[in-house]
Chains A and B, each alone.
Chain A
Amino acid sequence: MPVAFHPPSLVQRFLPMLCSLMILASGAQSRADTTEDILLSVTGPDISHDLTRTDLEEIGIASFQTSTIWTDGLQEFTGTPLNAFVAALGLNDELALQAIAANDYAVEVPLSDAVEDGPIIAFLRNGEPMTLRDNGPLWLVYPYDHNSDYQSEIIYARSIWQLERIVVIVP
């Protein structure tokens, strides 16, 4: 099976980023009246964004195949790369992300995880959007099969599903 991880091209990476920055700069309010569901709210010092799937797609899209310890068989995940997400937020290295799930599970994700070919904030699994019942709608997934470093308890703990909120914090 071909590797399903498609790193974004320059255009893919930077054009959406610029767009998203414009979007973010324009404020969340402009999106409030749309019918699309808010999937992720990002807060922090001077930060407050509610992001829809479209917003996330505009920041960046990547996908890869991997197995996980929680699922059965290979899964294809598609979502926004964490590094693109962090870049879009313009966060510096001294900060960290506090990711919080629907069941109030919370975990701290250091920005050092935001690397190329690193984790993505997945919104599609096997081409399908994920429901809450299906560990969705957002799942911070690491490419466990591609990098054995990701097969660790810490990373498993950071692999938060039913992700709803991200708080930018100073660790």
Chain B
Amino acid sequence: MHRDKRRFFVPTIVLAVIGACVVGIWFLSADARREIDALATANADSTQWSIAQTEVELLTLETAVLTAMHDNSQAALREVRRRFDVFYSRIRVLQRSQQLERVREEPEVAETLEHAIMVLDNALPLIDGPDAELRAGLDDLEEQIADLRNDLRFVTLESVRVFAGLAGQQRERVASALLDLAALIVVLILVLSTTVFALVWSLRLGQRRTAEIALAQSRQRTIVGTSIDGVLVVGRDGRVLDCNPAAERIFGYAREEALGARMADLIIPDHLQKAHRQAMDEHLSTGRRRILGKGLVQLEAKDKSGRIFPVELSIDTAESTEGEIFVSFIRDISDRQHAERELVEARDKALAGEEAKAEFLAVMSHEMRTPLGGILGGLELLSGTDLTGRQKGFVDMMSRSGQLLLHHVNSVLDISRDDAGKTVLRPELFDPVELLLDVVNSQGVAAEAKGNRLHVSTDDDLGPVIGDRTRLMQVIVNLVANAIKFTRDGQITLSARRDPGGTGGTDVEFRVADTGIGIAAEDQARVFDDFVTLDTRYAREVEGTGLGLGIARRLVVAMGGEIGVVSQPGSGSEFWFRVPLPTGDAIALDQDEAAADGPEAGSVPSTSGLTVLIVEDNEINRAVAVEMLTGIGCETVQASDGAEAQRLAGQRRFDLILMDISMPRIDGISATRQIRETSGPNSLTPIIAVTAHALPKDIERFQQAGMTGVLIKPLTRKSLVDSVEQHCSRRVELQDTGGEPAISAELVHRAVAEIAEHLSHMENMIKEGHAFHDLADRAHMAAGLAAVSGLAALQEAFVTLELAVAELEGEEGEADALAELLAEARGLFRREGQAG
């Protein structure tokens, strides 16, 4: 706006000035012309001539009069009259002429002329009279005329003086007019040259601007031309005004085809035509902008061949000389979308692969553990027979190898279990130093094989602690195994100490230091990742899955601890981890030892006389189980699959059923469900799942099918005895007519301790608010223990709790209700348990 005003303002001023100059010059030149004309007009050459002529004519008259005085002819008189008239007319002219007005303004001149006329008028009667009188008056006339001569001379001189003055003034006026004119012309020339200069300058400026614009346009053309996005310019009428090569390529139309054509006809697919028309109409009539200037929009477009493809579009309006235009940038994103789809597919495939791998690992570990269980069980039984020293050595060797193999399989299973959910910790009372010594004993052979000395160095007597001994041992074994791998002819030192931070906490720190090759600083963080083998040179001679440290890390974290490594390449590594391990009490430890010794002692009256149905498709496993159960005084009946189990279960009552899960025809779950549903003799018999499927979701499945507990393969005598004791104690009690506890005081003691442990555990579970099915398990176990210990009320409380878990599952207020029941159990335990 402002620029526009200025653009018009300046030329207007220039024009005004030029106009003023021209008008000025017009007036001044007219003035000058007038003055010059006046000079010409007033230049009284003729006037002066006529004044001078007056004198001449006076003299002529005088001469005529003088002639007539001597010449009596009539002609002479006529000449006098004629000359008189001429002179008279001349005087009259002098008297009246405008030219002589200035002269006549001199009073003396006017007087003189008056006088002259008076003289002539006085002479008129004489001139007009008869010849005789004229002749007689000639003398007189001559005298008067002679008198006039001086007067006229005076008039002549006076007029010369006046005219000279006038002429001077006139010249000055002309000069001044010319000067003014010249000045104005100078001004005009200045203005004109300024204007010319300005015009030239603005022309140059214009040329430069034009060049710049041309440059910018060429740049823009290059940008648009080389753009990989299609550019389409469309007018308000919807026709294509311009397009770039990319647009030609995307849509398949040549530029010549596209220009002037309706954009909608060219590139808008049929199903979008209506929407496009509506949006366009709406914009044209109301100026509403839906996708205009809104950035990237994804739409579909079609090309010349009719192919519909996805595009990314950015469109906005611009002003042009032809009015509003629509400029759009269009990108064909079919490739990108294709790539995205492929990526998603690849990801899905990878995820599916991961799942398949986990599934595979779980299945494989199960499949491997089942035969392995048979081997180990067989070896255990074999070691119980009479063997020579050599044979015992072989059995030990095979047993160790089997254990190692089992360890690897368990590692893999741990990983998949850990990845699938939680590691279930099973706390117990143990002596950590003893644990270290156990590890040294078990790993000693492997260490010696590489010339390493393995020993425990701990001054601190830590005393008994409560924790998951098995997991802890696994961590230490993994660390020791790792140390052995990377150390040759060195020392591996195990140590443990309480409260390393000195904070008064329950943490215990374990250290496994070696004098091996060490780990570079940049690798130290990686060593705890899965399948990491740092040194390929070593990896070749070192066997293992590369999972050892990864599992160790997982387990430590699961136990609520931390793990790390300090290492100096070339001089060795020191792995450390800290886990919370609360101090246990001495009595519990004694009882644990007593319990552990129990089965070995072979005096377990609680299990003797029980009839157990063993359902297992694997013959070896079945045999192992039979042998073990027989060993603790149980009677056994065998079933090789679910169908047989159902049949047998329908025929007679068992005290306990050990049910394998994976079996041909009818699996353990279906068989269990059937046994529970039919109100046969075993509808209430405890059914223990025997499986390698130890994932939480599996356990849940077993429970839903009606199973009472789980035994993880491979079976050991201890776990088997525990399980039988746990689930059949009630029955034992019922069988006992005296109502007296059928088990020893020590066992009662131990049962009470375990109930206490279960109670704390269940309370923690409620607090953390998850794994209620575990709660049911715990409640079930606690109920068993309470029954064994003769604590009937407590047993009822645990059973109620167990049932409540299943009933309330998923309902609102579940946690509160369970907490209440648990609190009740705790109260009962406090009254009955402590007393008992």
Contact = CB atoms under 8 A, between A and B. Distances in A.
Interface string B762-803: 000000000000000000000000000000000000000000
A169 interface: no
Interface in A51-79: 67-72
A69 B99 contact: yes
B595 interface: no
B568 interface: no
Contact of B89 (A67, A135, A156): A135
A157 B46 contact: yes
Interface string A92-104: 0000000000110
Contact of B40 (A69, A72, A152): A152
A153 B89 contact: no
B485 to A, nearest CB: 133
Contacts of B90: 103
Interface residues of A, number: 21
Contacts of A32: none
Contacts of A135: 89, 92-93
A132 interface: yes
Which 7 A-B pairs rank lowest in CB-CB distance, beginning with the nearest?
A132-B85, A133-B85, A72-B96, A133-B88, A70-B97, A69-B98, A103-B86
7 contacts: A71-B96, A72-B98, A131-B85, A151-B37, A156-B46, A157-B46, A162-B86
Contacts of A161: 89
Nearest to A103: B86
B41 interface: yes
A105 B98 contact: no
A132 B37 CA distance: 31
A99 to B, nearest CB: 15
Interface in A127-171: 131-135, 151-153, 156-157, 161-162
A103 B41 CA distance: 23
B395 to A, nearest CB: 156
B60 interface: yes
A103 B60 contact: yes
Interface of B: 37, 40-41, 43, 45-46, 53, 56-57, 60, 82, 84-86, 88-90, 92-93, 96-99
Nearest to A68: B98
Nearest to B43: A153
Nearest to B90: A103
Given A70-B93, A70-B96, A132-B82, A153 B53 contact: no
Contacts of B40: 152-153
A153 B41 contact: yes
Contacts of B57: 103
A63 B486 CA distance: 149
A159 B247 CA distance: 92
B111 to A, nearest CB: 18
Given A133-B89, A152-B37, 17 more contacts: A69-B97, A70-B96, A70-B98, A70-B99, A72-B96, A72-B98, A102-B86, A103-B56, A103-B60, A131-B85, A132-B85, A133-B84, A133-B88, A134-B92, A151-B37, A151-B41, A157-B46
A113 to B, nearest CB: 17
B89 A134 contact: yes
A134 B41 CA distance: 24
Most buried by B among A71, A103, A133, A162: A133
A7 B53 CA distance: 35
A69 B46 CA distance: 11
Best-buried of B37, B45, B56, B85 by chain A (most CB within 10 Å): B85
Contacts of A153: 40-41, 43, 45-46
Contacts of A105: 53
Nearest to A152: B40
Contacts of B43: 153
Nearest to A73: B96
A131 B89 CA distance: 9
A132 B82 CA distance: 8
Given A105-B53, A151-B41, A71 B97 contact: yes
Contacts of B84: 133
B505 to A, nearest CB: 130
Nearest to A135: B89
Contacts of A71: 96-97
Contacts of B96: 70-72
A135 B90 CA distance: 8
Contacts of B41: 69, 151-153, 156
Nearest to B91: A133
Contacts of B60: 103
Nearest to A159: B46
Contacts of A102: 82, 85-86
Contacts of A69: 41, 97-99
A161 B89 CA distance: 10
Contacts of B37: 151-152
B442 to A, nearest CB: 145
Contacts of A72: 96, 98
Q: Which residue, of B41, B86, B99, has the highest number of chain A Cβ atoms within 10 A? A: B86
Contacts of B93: 70, 135
B356 to A, nearest CB: 121
A105 B46 CA distance: 12
A162 B46 contact: no
Contacts of A134: 89, 92
Nearest to A148: B37
A69 B99 CA distance: 6
B601 to A, nearest CB: 161
Contact of A162 (B56, B89, B97, B98): B89
A69 B57 CA distance: 20
Nearest to A71: B96
B84 to A, nearest CB: 8
Interface string A102-127: 11010000000000000000000000
A74 to B, nearest CB: 12
B129 to A, nearest CB: 15
A52 to B, nearest CB: 19
A162 B43 CA distance: 23
A135 B89 CA distance: 6
B159 to A, nearest CB: 14
A78 to B, nearest CB: 19
A134 B87 CA distance: 10
Contacts of B98: 67-70, 72
A71 B94 CA distance: 9
A103 B64 CA distance: 13
A151 to B, nearest CB: 6
Contacts of A68: 98
A134 B124 CA distance: 13
A152 B97 CA distance: 15
A145 to B, nearest CB: 12
Nearest to A132: B85
A153 B42 CA distance: 8
Contacts of A133: 84-85, 88-89, 92
A122 to B, nearest CB: 14
B209 to A, nearest CB: 53
Contacts of A67: 98
Contacts of B56: 103
A132 B97 contact: no
Nearest to A151: B41
Nearest to B56: A103
Nearest to B45: A153
Contacts of A156: 41, 46
Contacts of A162: 86, 89
A102 B60 CA distance: 12
B46 to A, nearest CB: 5
Contacts of B53: 103, 105
Which interface residue of A70, A156, A157 has the most chain B CB atoms within 10 A? A70
B514 to A, nearest CB: 134
